[in-house]
Structure formats: C-alpha cells, structure tokens
Amino acid sequence: MTDEYIWVIFVAEQTSGFPDFYPIGVFTVHDRAVEEIDKLPKDKNYQLLRLPINRMFPYYHKKSGELVGMDAIHHEYFHFKDLDE
C-alpha cells in the first residue's frame, strides 16, 4: 500500500498563547499548496505540513517512551513577515 498524504497550510502567529498556528488550506498536491501560499498576504508567516492520511504519526522518545512530537512529517516554512517586529 502506498502512503497517501495531504498538504496543509497553516498561518503561524508569533504569540504567547497556544496554539500559535491555525490551518487555512488543505491540498493533495504540494505545488498547488505552494502556489496558494504565494498568493497569500505577506504580513504573516505560513507553514506547510505534509501529513499522512489514515495513519497515526506520533514520535515517542526512545528512552522515556514519552510522546514528544510527530514522525513522518515534512515541514516547510514560508517566512514573509519580519519575526523581529
């Protein structure tokens, strides 16, 4: 079985609250997602994540066994806004 993925565009805010990101688009093709990101306002930062469909993707710490992140995720940053503001 071939792994299937979706590409999700998130707005990435620089805030102290969680979550500091929220999804605004979902695509089945990477290039289409990037085209849409290029059309978005440049006063925000965006992230593009490739997420697997119909499968769990937790990452557990090898020694402690604690859930510490996501595995099998491709992540791209699109920093348009100056983060030093």
What pLDDT is stored for residue 19 in this prediction?
63
What pLDDT is stored for residue 80 in this prediction?
86
Q: Is the pLDDT of residue 1 over 60?
A: no
What pLDDT is stored for residue 73 in this prediction?
83
* Percentage of the residues of the chain whose pLDDT score is greater than 90: 59
What are the backbone angles phi and psi of residue 17, rounded to the nearest 5°? -85, 160
pLDDT tens-digit map of 7-46 = 999 998 876 665 678 999 999 999 999 999 999 999 999 9
Map out the domains of the chain as residue ranges: 5-78
Query: What mean pLDDT, rounded, does the chain reach?
Result: 87
